[in-house]
Structure 1
C-alpha cells in the first residue's frame, strides 16, 4: 500500500493543471527561472520543502502540480503528459514506468551527478536501466499494520500476533468483543501482506518467486494460489466483508482515525494523520504464515525524482539544484517531517517516531522488504499490479476462487508479453 498507496489530490484538478502547464515558458515574468514539478502527493505537504528550496535559491520558482487517486492514477497522468508534450521539468518516476521513460528520452541520466554519491546501492538499483541511474530515490517504504491499542485491549491483546492464523483468531476475538470493524483493507491494496509472505519464500531461493514468473519458469497459478487461499480466510472467517471492494484508501484511513477500525495496513506516511486524530495507536508487524518465518513486509525504495531528459540551460541547472537540495540533510528532514517518507541515504540517519519503531526495526533496518512488481516484465508492471487488486476484489465478492484469480493473472501476463 504505499506510497503507492499514499494520499494524493484531485484527478479533476489535474486536467486543469495540465492545461495550465501548456503555457509555461522557460522563465517567469519575475525574471526567475520557473521549474515545473509534478509529484504524487499533495501540495500542502510539499510546500515546506519548496519554500525552503526557494529561500536558498531566490532565482528559481517552483510551479507544483499533482493528481489524484491511486498510484496508478498518477502513472496514467504522467503518461498523458508525456504523450501531450507536457512533461514537467522534475517529476516523480515510478519504477514500473522507468524503462519506458528512458526509452522515450523523458529521463536524464543522473549516474555521474555529484548528489548521487549520497544514494545507497539498493535505491540506485531500483532506479537503474541498463546500468545507468535515471531517478534519485532518497526514501524507502514499508507497509505495517496500524492498530488501535484500546480496541485490541477489548479482546485481551496488546500487539499484533506473529502468525496469520493467530491474527485471524485475534480478529474473531475482536468481533466477539463487540468491535464492529476488526480489520479492513482498501480496494487498491487488497492482499496487503501477501507480498511479505512471498518475500520470505523468495529469500530462501536463488531467484525470487516473481522473477521466476517473469522469466517464465513458473506461473501465478503455481506460485500465488497458496498465498491467495490463505488471504481468503479473512472472508471465510467472517472478519472482513466484501464491502472492502468499494473502499478507497482515504475511507479506510478515516475509519481508523475515527477510532472505529481496529487494524489496517498502513505505513509511516500515516503517522501524523493518526496522531492528529488523537487515537491511541501504534504500528506493528504483518503476520507471517508459519511460526519462525523471518518477518517480511511489502516495501522497497521509493520512486525517485527524475529530470526531464529534454530540458537544458537554466532549467536544467535549476532542476539539478532542486535534486541536490532534496537529497541534502535539510531537504531529507523536511521530506520526513512533512511528507511522512523515511529517508534512506548515506548522508542522513532519520529519527523514527516511536509508534513506528517495531516495523522500522523489523523491515527497513534489516532490508526485509519485498515488492512483487520488480520481478515482472518492465513494460507490464503497472497493468499487472492493478490486475492483482482487480482479481482479489472478485475473490472478495465471491465471484471467483483464489485459483481462478491466479489463472486470470497468467492470462493477463500473456497479453503484456
Structure 2
C-alpha cells in the first residue's frame, strides 16, 4: 500500500507497556471545570480542528487536548509505542490494525463490542478491529490506493487515462518521456512497490488461501511467492521510466511535484483530493494496472485504522471518550471526517458523496471490496516492522544493490526474527 499519506510507519512489539490514567485537566478561563479529553492521532491539528470544534460545541463540558507526531503520519506508530511505554497514553487514540494485537495483549484498549455506536460500523471494518472475538477500535472509514494522473501531461503522449495492464502502463511511461515529460512516474521511498499489493490481491482472490496467509502460515516463503511480483515492478528501473532518486523522496515531496504540475502519475488516494483541488491542476484518479489482460482490478486498501479508548481511564474521562467516539461515528462527525481529513466513510449510517475525480477507483475498488492489505496475512506480532522492511528492501532494488529475488529472500530472514 502504499497509502502515501499514512499508512507507512514502524513499531516493535513492547514487552510490557507501562500505563497510567490520563489526568482530567482543570484549565483556567473558559475551560475551568471542564473534563479534559486527550486525543492522539496520525494527522495534523489543522485537519482535525473542525471535528474537535464541532464536538466541543455539542459537548460544552469537555475540552479536547489534541496531539500528533511531528510531520503528521510519519512515525506515528513508533511515537505511540513510546508514549505507552512512558505511561502517557492518551484517552482516545488512533489504533493501527498492525498494532492492535499488541495493544490488546498489554491491556491498552477498551473493549468496544457492546457500545451502542458500534451498531453503525460495518462488518468489514469490525473484522479488522477484532481480536479474539471482541472489537477494540472503531474504524469508520476505508481507503484504497489509486493512481493520480495529470490529464494535460498524459495528453502530450496521446493518452487520456491509465492503461489497464502493466505492459501498457510501462509503454505509456516511455511515451511520456519521449514526449518531453521529465517526470512520468514517481513513488515515495516509504511506498515503493505501490501496485504489487493489488497484483497479490487479485491472485489471492483466485485461491482458497491468500498469498500472504500462506507465507504467514509457513506454507510458502517470500522468496517463493514475491519474487515474480518484485521482478515485474523492477522493470520501472530496467526500462528507465523511474530512477533511483525515489529512494530519497518522502511522501510530501512526491505529492508536491504532482501538485506543481511536474509529475504525470503517482500512487495516491482520496486523502489527496483537497490538496490537488486546491492546486488547480487538471487531474483525475485512475486504476492501478494489473499484470495481465482480464485480471479483475485490485488495489492496496482496507478498512482504516480505528479510534480506540484507553483501557485504564474511568469516570468523566471515560464518559467523554465514549461521547467522542459516538460523535465521530455520527452523520455530522462522518461528514467532517470526509471533508476535513479526506477519508471515505464506510459505515451503515452514512452514504459519502465522492469527489468526481475519484469516481473510477471508488467504483473499481471500494464499491466492489476489491482491496487487499498484505499485512493482514502475516503473524500479528511484528507486522509493522515487516511492512517497513518491504519498503527498505525495494529501496535497495531501486539502487541496484540487490536483486528482486534477494529482496524477497531478505523478507524471509526478517520474518524469522519476528517469530
Same fold (TM over 0.5): yes
Aligned positions of 1:364-383 closer than 5 A: 364-383=366-385
Judging changes above 3 Å, is the alpha-carbon distance between structure 1 residues 367 and 397 closer, same or farther for their aligned structure 2 residues?
same
Distance 1:217 1:3 in 2: 28
Q: Could you tell me whether the CA contact under 8 Å between 1:3 and 1:71 is conserved in 2?
A: no
* Runs of 4+ residues deviating >4 angstroms: 1-4, 69-72
- Equivalents in 2 of 1:337, 1:186: separation in Å? 25
CA–CA distance in structure 2, aligned partners of residues 2 and 118 of structure 1: 28
Q: Given the alignment of the two structures, is residue 237 of structure 1 paired with residue 235 of structure 2, yes or no? A: no
Contact 1:2–1:267 under 8 Å retained in 2: no
Name the residue aligned to 2:190: 188
Q: Is the 8 A contact 1:188 1:389 kept in 2?
A: yes
Residue equivalent to 1:125: 127
Q: How does 1:248-397 map to 2 (within 5 A)?
A: 248-397=250-399
Counterpart Cα distance in 2 of 1:3 and 1:333? 21
Change (3 A) 1:177 1:4: closer
Partner of 1:59: 61
Q: Residue 72 of structure 1 contacts residue 382 of structure 1 at CA under 8 Å; is this kept in 2?
A: no
Q: Quick check: 1:147–1:264 contact (8 Å CA) kept in 2? A: yes
- Alignment correspondent of 2:5: 5
Partner of 2:414: 412
Q: 1:112 to 1:3 in 2, by over 3 A?
A: farther
> Is the contact made by 1:5 and 1:189 (CA closer than 8 Å) also made in structure 2?
no
Alpha-carbon offset, residue 2 of structure 1: 5.4
Which residue pairs with 1:27 in the alignment?
Answer: 25
| Partners of 1:23 and 1:328 in 2: CA distance | 27
After TM superposition, give the deviation of residue 5 of structure 1 in Å: 2.8
Q: 1:176 to 1:161 in 2, by over 3 A?
A: same
Deviation at 1:26, TM superposition (A): 1.4
Q: Secondary structure at the match of 1:295?
A: coil
Tell me the distance in 1 between the aligned counterparts of 2:236 and 2:264: 14
Residues 150-189 of structure 1: CA distance to partner in whole angstroms, max 9, x if unpaired? 0000000000000001000000000000000000000000
| Structure 2: gaps of 5 or more residues | 9-19
The 5 Å alignment of 1:168-247 reads 168-247=170-249
How far is 1:25 from its partner?
2.5
The change in CA–CA distance for 1:7 and 1:94 in structure 2 (over 3 A counts) is closer
Q: Which position in structure 1 is the counterpart of 2:12?
A: none
Residue 380 of structure 1 and its aligned partner are, at CA, apart by 1.1
Task: Tell me the residue number matched to 1:15.
Answer: none
Cα distance, 1:28 vs. partner?
Answer: 1.8
Identify if the C-alpha distance between structure 1 residues 168 and 70 changes in structure 2 by more than 3 Å, giving closer, same or farther: farther
Residue 17 of structure 1 corresponds to which residue in structure 2? none
Please report the RMSD computed on the Cα atoms of aligned residues, expressed in angstroms. Answer: 1.4
Tell me the equivalent position of 2:15: none
Q: Is the 8 A contact 2:3 2:268 kept in 1?
A: no
1:66–1:294 CA distance, 2 compared to 1 (3 A): same
Aligned to 2:48: 46
Q: Secondary structure at the match of 2:318?
A: helix
Report the number of matched residues: 404
Structure 1-normalised TM-score? Answer: 0.95
8 A Cα contact 1:53 1:325, kept in partner: yes
- TM-score, normalised by the number of residues in structure 2: 0.95
Whether the 8 Å contact between 1:4 and 1:71 is mirrored in structure 2 is: no
Q: Distance in 1 between matches of 2:4 and 2:225?
A: 24
CA distance in 2, matches of 1:99, 1:354: 37
User: 1:95 corresponds to which residue?
Assistant: 97
Kept in 1: contact 2:42–2:72 (CA 8 A): no
Describe the shift of the 1:75–1:273 C-alpha distance in structure 2 as closer, same or farther (beyond 3 A).
same
Q: Secondary structure at the match of 1:206?
A: coil
Distance 1:24 1:376, change over 3 A: closer
The structure with the largest helix share of the pair is: 1
Structure 1: unaligned runs, 5 residues or longer = 9-21
